[in-house]
Each structure stands twice: as structure tokens, then as C-alpha cells.
Amino acid sequence: MTKIAIIGSGISGLSAAHLLKDYANITLFEKARGVSGRISTRRAEPYFFDHGAQYFTARTKVFKDFIQPLLDQGTIERWNARYVKFKGNQIIERRNWRDEEPRYVGIPGMNHVAKFLAKGLNIHINTRIASLNHQGTWQLTDEQGQQYAGFDWVICTAPSPQAVELLPKSFAYHSNIKVIKMRACFSLMLGFQQSLPLDFEAAHVTDADLSWIAVNSHKPQRTDLFTLMVHSSEDYAEAHIDDDRNKAMKHLINETSHIIGQDVSQADYKNIHVWRYANNADKKQKSPTFIDPDLKLAACGDWCLGGRVEGAFTSAYDLTKLMKESAL
């Protein structure tokens, strides 16, 4: 049976593995200590934070079909939040997601979507692949020098700047991937013993150093303790990516307090996480399917289609469809 190595176990990598598992022997390699990529959940007992992707939508039939088992088993549920849009510290729009297309979240955390998809798959965690070498078949070498050989295909689902470093320049789409830029984001996590009196649970923010504020604890089947999840703007993150983390956290706390009109500096728990490759610079990115049948190399990810969880799945779906049609 064809042997395929998949680098990365976020939504793209896990989706590709599911779509190919009946056609090939699949092995995934994940640099982190667990699966999920940017659909992550941070544990900070007694608080929990979805500090990556906040929710996702499903607009295509293939993706709706793919997530139906997760709905059936209660791994995802709809989040009916009161939504607002801020311009600076002024609310300029109000809606209720109960009346709109479903926004889905993982239960009891976003990372449980990945955990569900990872069941039964062969995954090497804490394994950062450092190089690829082709000698009849593909050989992968990790940072510790451990080698994994005998793969017919390699699929890279790392963010575009990391994919272009790992994939050989002979890869047919190397130059295409090189021009796909990604931008950073700070995730601010705040936990409170007492709830804040807010009249919304989800908010996009413009004209500020923030882009998103959410009452994470309002999502279905979360703990009762009040938590806020705040994302910086991309412009702020790019300009301050190398700043002292405490300095950045203090600034984002002050920004949050100013925008929502509540002093959040008194939070019982405060932390900050940096996503170096969080979002596409071009949100309308529409890439070709990155598959090189001669080298038997491929790449996919949310960055191929402008971001979003459904984009991550669609990129993997389009790629694996072509692979299956060519009989691998």
C-alpha cells in the first residue's frame, strides 16, 4: 500500500489523513506536544481558553458532510452569541448569531475537534521535521536526527513560510508558496472570579490594536468561571512581535479596558500567546492545488484559501481528490 507522510496535524493535516486513510498507509508528524494546530485550547486551571481559531462556519456541502459526525456525537455545537462590531471603543453594529448561519465551536474546547479527527491515526508528536531527502522514496529527518524512511508521498501542511523552507526548490510550486505571506497575532487570555457586565459575547474590533474580543466562557459546555479571549490586530502584532511579552500584554490589557469600558487589569489570570503565522496577509487568497506528481510532493493549508477552518479542509479536500483520481 502507498505510504504517505503528512507534516502537521492541524485541520488540513488531519482532514487529508481522513480523506486518504482508506487508500494509503498514513503517518503524521506534529512538532507540538499534541494535535490541533491553530484550533487550540489552553488549560490554565480553573480556566480554559480557545486561544487560536474562535469558531468556524460550514458553507459547502462537502464540509457540512465532513463535520456531520462531529455534530452527531456532540464534538461540536452551535455558538449563539450576541455579536457586536466596535470601531475604536464605539459599537457600530449589533446582531444575534442565533438568527444567522451557524458558528460552530468544539466541545468542551476547540482542540477537541482535532482530538476527534486524530482518533485511530498514526501520529508522531513532539517531532519537528527538519529536512526531506529523496532516494527512490522520501526520507524525513527530525531535529534530533531521527530518520523516517520509505514514504511514497509527502504532504506538507505547515504555514507557508515554514513550508517554503522545508520543501525543496525543485518542488513545482515552490515559487508560488514563497509569495504567500502570513501575519502574526497576539492572543490575550484573561480569567476572572467574577463576571464582567458585558452586553455581548463576541466582537470584532477595527481602528484599534485589537481585532477580536470574546467571552470564551459563554461558549457551550464551558466552565462557569468568566474568561475573556482577546486577539490583537495584525498590524500591532507585526510591529511588536519582538517586544517584551509583558509589555505587549500590558498594552493589550489597557486597550481591552478602554474598548469595553471595564478595567480588566484586575483579572485573576493573565497570559499572552504569540501566533507567528496566524493569518493570511491576503484574505482573498485563491491558490492552485499544490501537487507535484513527478516528485510526489504536495502542500495544503488554510493559507492556500485565505484562512478559516473551512479553507483548511477545502485545501486538503481538493488536494486529496486529485491524489485519489491519479491512483496515488
Could you read off the pLDDT of 303-314 as tens digits, one per residue? 999 889 999 999
Residue 203 bridge partners (DSSP): 84, 213
- What is the pLDDT at residue 297? 97
Confirm whether 77 is domain-assigned. Answer: yes
- Asked if 215 and 226 count as a contact pair (C-beta separation under 8 A), the reply is yes
Q: Could you say which residues of the chain have pLDDT below 50? A: none
Do you know the residue count of the chain?
Answer: 328
- What is the pLDDT at residue 328? 75
Please tell me whether residues 266 and 191 are part of one structural domain. yes
Q: Cell numbers at residue 48, please?
A: 480554559
Please tell me whether residues 104 and 50 are part of one structural domain. yes
Q: Could you give the CA distance from residue 76 to residue 91 in angstroms, rounded to a whole number?
A: 29
- The parent domain of residue 289 ranges over 1-31+127-180+283-328
Confirm whether 115 is domain-assigned. Answer: no
Beta-sheet pairing, 25-29 with 123-124: parallel
- Asked if 287 and 176 count as a contact pair (C-beta separation under 8 A), the reply is yes
Examine residue 197 and say whether the peptide bond preceding it is cis (omega within 30 degrees of 0).
no
The closest of 115, 47, 44 to 76, measured between CA atoms, is 115
Please tell me whether residues 324 and 210 are part of one structural domain. no
Please tell me whether residues 259 and 244 are part of one structural domain. yes
